[in-house]
Amino acid sequence: MAKDAGGLTSRAEDFPRWYQEVVAGAEMAENGPVRGTMVIRPWGFGIWELLQGELDRRIKDAGAENAYFPLFIPEAFLGLEKEHVEGFSPETWVVTHGGGKPLEEPVVVRPTSETVVNHFFAKWIQSHRDLPLLVNQWSNVVRWEMRTRLFLRTSEFLWQEGHTAHATEQEATDYAVRILRDAYLDTIESVMRIPTFVGLKTDRERFAGAIRTWACEGMMGDGKALQLGTSHELGQNFARAFDIQYADESGARSYVHQTSWGASTRLIGGLIMVHGDDFGLRLPPALAPSQVVVMVVRADEHTDRASAAIADELRSAGLRVRIDDQTAASFGRRAIDWERKGVPVRIEIGPRDLAEDRAVVVRRFDRSKQSVGLSSLLAEVRSALERTSAVLHAEALAFREAHTTSVETLEEAVEAAAEGFAVLPASEVGEAGEDTLAGYGITVRCLQRADGSLPGVDEGDLSAVVGKSY
């Protein structure tokens, strides 16, 4: 099997194997001791922390506040919303013993928190003055998975899940769409630099218990789709099940209208598969735990002082910088390790460079090298980071456009989906068409208006984006 200079399988030859090798080689995560669990190592968790911070800020800008709800849910709660429970029952983990004894009532480990959240919403919402109620939590959830893959599909994963209650259906619709656009789409496009289709899910693909689901869909480096975030309009389904009512100004009581929405550590898997190359991960600067690594070629007193001064200057400019002075290891091995981790910029400095007041700047996105005067180093690094962000998005967009085909029939869609996405009139799909596509392992990723805009309640003339997915 073909390997690159750094020892990775090429993406073209075996994309799944390449993905696993990048996750391991970049020291991002590894399998936990219990089947389906994942240990997120510091480099991977550092990416998650930065991504979490970006998304959390946007969620709060939309008015939601963070809270926390229990990991364990009484089994009886899951009997209150039939469609939701049926959608998740094959995935639930159930605890039957505690303290060495059988429990009087088994408890479910949360696969998602709609039921427990709505138990408390019923207590907290009494009046129109309690609305809208906008709550988000950062937590873990646990779902049974037959086939697991780190970050993409594990039995336990990290995520955020938002839950809101509103006085009217229109307010709920508007908020679900706002979260999709202002929180998820903006983070995915402007921070992760992943071009994204946004649209409405079909009834077959919507969230269990929702009346509408909107989603962000990205194309990975093998042409498959990955769902990156979803926002659901729940209608009054849970409100009726949990008796969540409010009194309006006249005293009349009505059921609330609700939304829920979530994004998970699956985003990191998407980041790897969209931007990675045959040499490893390539990180957008906004999500790099270290945006710059200063590599000491050969340690001596003069070089150590210079590398520390360079790092201090860059940190003072607001950059995340690490010094690699582990010269007991070979320089080539260290360079490959940082390349595999996807650090956007390397600065290589040794005695000969310092003798000329220069350093070598290496840009990860194209692996180019340039000798730069020390006085111009900060400007060159800033330029390289800006260029990295722009190039990663441009390359991903060009790849998606090259692998997205407009077609008119299901037969053409099946053929096109072998290489990427097909876009066709939604009227050509329907339930029967979804059955046909499913026979080829193809699903409708989302429905869009013909002009590419996001459909709302008034669906109008729609096109369907279809493809194979993770």
pLDDT one-digit tens code per residue, 132-171: 999 999 999 999 988 899 999 999 999 999 999 999 999 9
Confidence at residue 79, expressed as pLDDT on a 0 to 100 scale:
82
> Is the Cα torsion angle 294, 299, 303, 305 positive or negative in sign?
positive
Confidence at residue 89, expressed as pLDDT on a 0 to 100 scale:
76
Q: Tell whether 280 is covered by a domain.
A: no
Kindly tell me if the per-residue pLDDT of 460 is higher than 80.
Answer: no
Q: List, for residues 35-50, the tens digit of each pLDDT value.
A: 999 999 999 999 999 9
**Are both 258 and 294 inside the same structural domain?**
no
- Domain tally, the chain: 3
Global pTM?
Answer: 0.95
**Are both 62 and 198 inside the same structural domain?**
yes
Kindly tell me if the per-residue pLDDT of 86 is higher than 80.
Answer: no
Confidence at residue 146, expressed as pLDDT on a 0 to 100 scale:
84
Confidence at residue 222, expressed as pLDDT on a 0 to 100 scale:
97
Burial 172-202 (b: 16+ CB within 10 A, else e): bbebbbbbbbebbbbbbbebbbbbbbbbbbb
Mean pLDDT computed over 46-66: 98
Confidence at residue 60, expressed as pLDDT on a 0 to 100 scale:
98
pLDDT band for position 126 (50/70/90)? very high
CATH number at residue 420: 3.30.110
Kindly tell me if the per-residue pLDDT of 402 is higher than 80.
Answer: yes
DSSP 215-256: EEEEE-TTS-EEEEEEEEEEETHHHHHHT-EEE-TTS-EEE-
Contact 192, 287 (CB under 8 A): yes
**Are both 103 and 198 inside the same structural domain?**
yes
Q: List, for residues 270-283, the tens digit of each pLDDT value.
A: 999 999 999 999 99
Question: Helix, strand, or coil here: 351?
Answer: helix
Q: Tell whether 89 is covered by a domain.
A: yes
Of 215, 250, 275, the residue that ends a domain is: 275
Q: Tell whether 6 is covered by a domain.
A: no
Kindly tell me if the per-residue pLDDT of 59 is higher than 80.
Answer: yes
Q: Tell whether 9 is covered by a domain.
A: no
Confidence at residue 468, expressed as pLDDT on a 0 to 100 scale:
98
Q: Tell whether 1 is covered by a domain.
A: no
**Are both 346 and 373 inside the same structural domain?**
yes
Contact 163, 65 (CB under 8 A): no
Can you read off the two tokens belonging to residue 398?
């060009």
Mean pLDDT computed over 219-238: 97
Integer Cα distance of 228 and 216 in angstroms: 5
Confidence at residue 459, expressed as pLDDT on a 0 to 100 scale:
61
Burial 117-136 (b: 16+ CB within 10 A, else e): bbbbbbeebeebeebbbbbb
Kindly tell me if the per-residue pLDDT of 455 is higher than 80.
Answer: no
Mean pLDDT computed over 2-15: 81
**Are both 308 and 333 inside the same structural domain?**
yes
Task: List, in sequence order, the alpha helices (H) in 62-192.
Answer: 82-88, 114-124, 169-178, 186
Kindly tell me if the per-residue pLDDT of 3 is higher than 80.
Answer: no
Q: Tell whether 370 is covered by a domain.
A: yes
- The residue among 69 and 453 whose pLDDT is bigger is 69
What is the span of the domain harbouring residue 449?
A: 404-467
Return the amino acid letter for 146.
Answer: M
pLDDT-wise least confident of 2-6, 198-202, 257-261, 413-417: 2-6
Contact 164, 117 (CB under 8 A): no
Q: Tell whether 7 is covered by a domain.
A: no
**Are both 174 and 199 inside the same structural domain?**
yes
**Are both 145 and 178 inside the same structural domain?**
yes
**Are both 153 and 24 inside the same structural domain?**
yes
**Are both 336 and 215 inside the same structural domain?**
no
**Are both 84 and 134 inside the same structural domain?**
yes
Q: List, for residues 340-377, the tens digit of each pLDDT value.
A: 999 999 999 999 999 999 999 999 999 999 999 999 99
How far is C-alpha 175 from the chain's CA centre?
20
Of 326, 361, 390, the residue that ends a domain is: 390
Of 323, 355, 390, the residue that ends a domain is: 390
Mean pLDDT, the chain, rounded, equals 94
What are the beta bridge partners of residue 263?
160
> Is the Cα torsion angle 45, 47, 51, 57 positive or negative in sign?
positive
Integer Cα distance of 220 and 242 in angstroms: 40
Q: Which helix (H) or strand (E) holds 363?
A: strand 358-363
Kindly tell me if the per-residue pLDDT of 432 is higher than 60.
Answer: yes
CATH number at residue 171: 3.30.930.10
Kindly tell me if the per-residue pLDDT of 5 is higher than 60.
Answer: no
Kindly tell me if the per-residue pLDDT of 417 is higher than 90.
Answer: yes
Q: Tell whether 282 is covered by a domain.
A: no
Integer Cα distance of 263 and 249 in angstroms: 36
Confidence at residue 6, expressed as pLDDT on a 0 to 100 scale:
62
Confidence at residue 84, expressed as pLDDT on a 0 to 100 scale:
74
**Are both 157 and 244 inside the same structural domain?**
yes
**Are both 192 and 300 inside the same structural domain?**
no
Mean pLDDT computed over 64-75: 96
Kindly tell me if the per-residue pLDDT of 2 is higher than 60.
Answer: no
Mean pLDDT computed over 191-198: 97
